[in-house]
Structure 1
Amino acid sequence: MFSGSIPALVTPFRDGSLDEPAFRRLVDWQIDNGSKALVPCGTTGEASTLSNAEHHRVIEICVEQAAGRVPIIAGCGSNDTRNALLHMNFSRKAGAAAALCVAPYYNRPGQAGLIAHFSFLAENSDLPIVLYNVPGRTVTDIEPETVCALAKRYPDRIVGIKDASGDLSRVTDHRMGIGKDFCQLSGDDELALPANAAGSAGCISVTANVAPALCAEFQQACADNDLVRARELNDLLCPLHYAMFEDASPAPVKYALSRVHDWVLPGVRLPLVECSDHAKKAVDEALKHAGLV
C-alpha cells in the first residue's frame, strides 16, 4: 500500500503559530523530490504540542496541497482512544489515505489494552490504520504477537506498521506471522537498509525532511536490489541520520531545514527549545558530507 521514502513532516512555526505558506512549500518540495507519501502530525510534526484545531488544520493543508499526487498518512495517535478516533474521523473526511496511530503513551497499557485500543479504532472508522511502535518514546511496546493478532483480526483496517523498536528481527516476525501484503515501514532512518533487506517496503523518515531526493534515491536503489548504490547513498546519509537526534527531535531537523531553505524557521514549541551549538555543528557537518550545503 505504501512504499519508498515517506517523510514525517515537520510543522513549521512563525511567531509561535503554524506557518502555512512554509508548510505548503515543504509539501510541494517533498513531492517534487520523489517522496512517495507524506505524514503530517507525527512525532516530528510536534503533534503533542498542537491543539486539535491546529492538528486538523495541518492535515487538511497537507491533503489539499498534495492534491492527490501522493497519499497522506495522517498522524492520528493519542493516549486517549476517543481523541484518536476524533483525529481519524476528521482525516477520513479530509481525504487522507490512512491513519498513523502510535501506541498510547503515558498510560502504559498492556498488550490486552493495546488490542482493545486498536480494535476500537478499527471497528469505529473505515480509515486504514498504520500502527506506530516507538517504545523509546511511549514506553509501551506493541509486541509482534499483538501486531499479528490485530492484522489478522482486521485485515482491511490494520494494514501496516511503522516500526521504530530497533529490533530488526520483527520485520521477519511480522512477515511470517501475517503475510507479505502487510505493509512494513522502518521508523529508524539508520536501520532502513537492513530493514529493507529483511522485507520492509520503505521508511517513514526524519531525514527525508531535509534530504528528500537522496532518501528517495536510496529507497529506489533498495527496491531495485541495487545494493552497491544503496550502500553509497546510505554512507552519504548516515551522518545526517545521527545528527537528527543530537538533540531533542525535531529541533535538529528544523535547524537543518533552515540551513537549506530560508523559508523554514528553526523554532520549536515548548517544552522543546532550539538545538544546542553541539547539535548544530553535527548537523552542519552532516549536511556538508551529504552535499546539501
Structure 2
Amino acid sequence: MEKIIAHEPTIRMAAFFSVLLVMALWEIAAPRRRVEIPRLVRWSNNLGLVVLDAFLVRLVFPVVAVGAAVVAQDNGWGLLNQIDLPVWVGVVLAVLAFDLAIYLQHVLFHAVPALWRLHRVHHADLEFDVTTGVRFHPLEILISMAIKLLLVLALGPPALAVLIFEVLLNATSLFNHANLRLPGRVDALLRLVVVTPDMHRVHHSIIPSETNSNFGFNLPWWDWVLGTYLAQPSAGHKRMTIGVKQFRTRRDLWLDRLLVQPFQGEASQYPINRRSKRSE
C-alpha cells in the first residue's frame, strides 16, 4: 500500500493519459456530434491550460490531497480517523463523501457570480469533447484544491480512498465530456451508475436552465436525489448549441483569452441565484 501511495503521481498521470488517448480515438471512430472547429485550435489551448494548472498547483500547494490524507492519518485528524472501521468501508464512505462534495462544489460555482466567472471558462468551449473535461481556469483549480485539502483534513479518509477518487474523477471527467456516440440502451444502463456523455452534455447547453442541471461528475445519484437531473436537451444532442452566450468566436478559444475571460463582461443570467431573482 505504501508503495502505491509513493507512486501516486505516476499512477495518476498514467491513468490520465491512457484514458485521454482512448477517448480521443473513440471520438474519432464514433463521434456523437459533427466537429466544426479544427481539433488543433481547441486541443492545443485546452491542453495548454492543463499544463499551466498542474504547474501552479505544484507551486502553490506543497502537499496535495493524497499527501494530506497521510498527514491526517499520522496525526489522527478527521472524522474517519476517530472511528474504527474496516479499511474497505472507510474507502467506500470516503469516495462517496468526496463525490457528493464535488457535486455541491459544482453547484456553488454555478450559484455565486464571482465563482461562475471562473467556471464559465469551462463552459465557454464552443464544442464538447474530451479536452473540455480538463479545461478549467487556474484560479478555479487552486480554489478546488484548497477545498479538497480542507475536506481531507476534516474527513480523515484513507489515503487509498483519495487516490482512487482522484483517478476516478479524472477518468470520468474525460469520459463524460467525450464526443462519443453510445447506443441508447447502453447509455440508459450506464446512467444508473455513472454520468454519461449524453447526460453531461445537457449541462453544457447554451440555455441557462439546461446549464444549471446535471452537476454530477462521477455518480448520477446526487442529481436524481437533489432534483437537478435533466434527461435530454430541448434541441436534441446533435442540434443543441454548446457554450455560453458571451464568448462565441474562435479567438475566444485561445489560451490568452481563457486566462482573462473571468474579468470580462457580466456574469449574465447563468448563475443560479440570478436566474431565480429574475423569475420572482
Same fold (TM over 0.5): no
Bigger relative contact order, structure 1 or 2, given CA contacts below 8 A and separation 6+?
2
Which structure has more strand as a fraction of its residues? Answer: 1
TM superposition score normalised by structure 2? 0.28
Structure with higher Rg: it is 2
